[in-house]
Chain A
Amino acid sequence: MDNNKRREIILDNFNNPINRGLKYDDNYVKINTNNESCIDELNFELKIDNGKIVDLVFDGEACAISTASASIMIKILLNKTVDEAIKICKNYENMINGNDYDKDLLSLATVFDNISGQASRKKCALLSWNGILKYLEEYKKNNS
């Protein structure tokens, strides 16, 4: 992807993120993500129906990369089954950590495919995805 396009997508998701604002609804589970080594803190609310992610919203204070990656993650994970979402999140982690990954599964999230070379930004790009993946894996364990 050319750098201008990449920048445009990241900045658009940073400036106008999808689903920003919490619902404070008991039908949602709350997931707090913060990182011991950085100052970003994002809170998510997730609603799963019949094994499918039917809603995912967030709010908090974080840097541009964290915020944009949260927005892009939400766009990708909405309406995916828990199994599909876990697969996508793991694939995303592989991309950020510089390992092999399936490009087709990540669609828009490939705007972060150059982060693996930037140690200081990796934790920002991973924050939301790690938090959601951790919850989804627990959910799967408890519901299988």
Chain B
Amino acid sequence: MDIRNDFPMLKKGIIYFDNGATTFKPQMVIDSIVDYYSNYCANAHRGDYNISLKTDMMYENARKKVKDFINAKYVEEIVFTSGATESLNMIAKSYFSNILSDGDEVLLTKAEHASNILPWFSIKEKKDIDIKYMELNENYELTIESVISSITDKTRVISIAHVTNVVGDVRPIKKICEIAHKKNILVVVDGSQSVPHMSVDVQDLDCDFLVFSGHKMCGPTGIGVLYAKKEYLEEFVPYNLGGGMNANFLNNGEVEYKSLPHRLEAGTPNISGAIGLGVAIDYLTGLNMDMIREYELKLKKYLVKKLKENKNIEIYNETTDSGIIAFNIKNVFSQDTAIYLNDYNICVRAGNHCAKILKDEINIKNTCRISLYFYNTKEELDKLISVLSNCDDLYNQII
């Protein structure tokens, strides 16, 4: 496949199956960062000189690319953050901690990433809110029925991953938003594992908030996005105060903030990161998000079929509709499996994948996770399948 030539990291002789953690970068993303630092390195929104104007234009252009990529209605609805984690913290601290009252309920699931649980815990430290977990079905998936039965008169917000990072189920966000909005419940969507892998249209889904990270979608680390409907974003109280976010201030303490989105981006932003993310979006759009999804599902289907032929392998999420496969070799600790695969230059993640309370549902604390991306190939899967089929002697090999 030609696209593999676009990625310097794919020429290192390793098979990389940890794309849920981070992804490799195409040369054009790397070049765009070098270009900024080499050719027009200046601050954004500041100078009246050419390179600063160019920086400003490139930074705001990246915002426009994000807006188009997720089909937001207004460009002001796109805030650059350091990643999905910061975006979720901002949503909790700058917005929900102000609007939630004692007795209000927040609905999560036990399959959520730590970043979509701990910020809600932090609100609970100050206000007497209830954090409830919607039940998952026997395949560890969230169903519409479970959402409906979890909602009460006290429910104010549902905060869930679009695609979960261990089980990989795709949640019916559009339907959930429809149900929630009828009861004036807001919906926060963690798109970290969906936006890189499928078309996500915030207007079609009608979600109120969406977060995602650049590095999981071929972009640089340290850049992410907070999308919120304008009416809610207007109510965010900035928790970072300083340069770049104020329009004016007086010595008596009076401060006038800038308009959206800049008042939520205090300090010099991650300019190279935003530019790199914009180029990653160009790259993904060029490949076509629907084709990416279709290809990854085909790979997963093939891998599941082959792994099921191996009696030593237990798969936890064979039915879910994304490129994530959680498994263990029977009677082998997941980390030992990862170390065994590393001996063959195959990178997989072992552990709880930051979903530390999922064990309450799955009864297995640690798994090996394969998370695929469009640059993985059937040949790479065949290599993995072959290495796993010779795993009888695993412990003799790794020690």
Contacts and interface: CB of A to CB of B under 8 A. Distances in A.
Contact of B395 (A14, A39, A61, A121): A14
B351 A63 contact: no
Interface in B146-173: none
A50 B342 CA distance: 47
Contact of B399 (A39, A40, A61, A65): A65
A62 B396 contact: no
A11 B395 contact: yes
Contacts of B395: 11, 14, 64
A57 B237 CA distance: 53
Nearest to A111: B399
Nearest to A64: B336
Contacts of A38: 335
B142 interface: no
B23 interface: no
Contacts, number: 35
B399 A11 contact: yes
Nearest to A124: B335
A120 interface: yes
B399 A63 contact: no
B339 interface: yes
Contacts of B352: 39
A121 B399 CA distance: 10
Nearest to A15: B395
Q: Kindly name the residue among B350, B351, B352, B366 whose own CB sees the greatest number of chain A CB atoms within 10 A.
A: B366
Contact of A39 (B335, B342, B396): B335
A10 interface: yes
A64 B333 contact: yes
Interface of A: 6-7, 10-11, 14, 38-40, 61-65, 120-121, 124
11 contacts: A6-B399, A10-B399, A14-B399, A38-B335, A39-B366, A61-B366, A62-B333, A63-B335, A64-B333, A120-B342, A121-B339
The 5 tightest CB contacts between A and B, nearest first, are: A39-B351, A63-B335, A63-B336, A63-B333, A10-B399
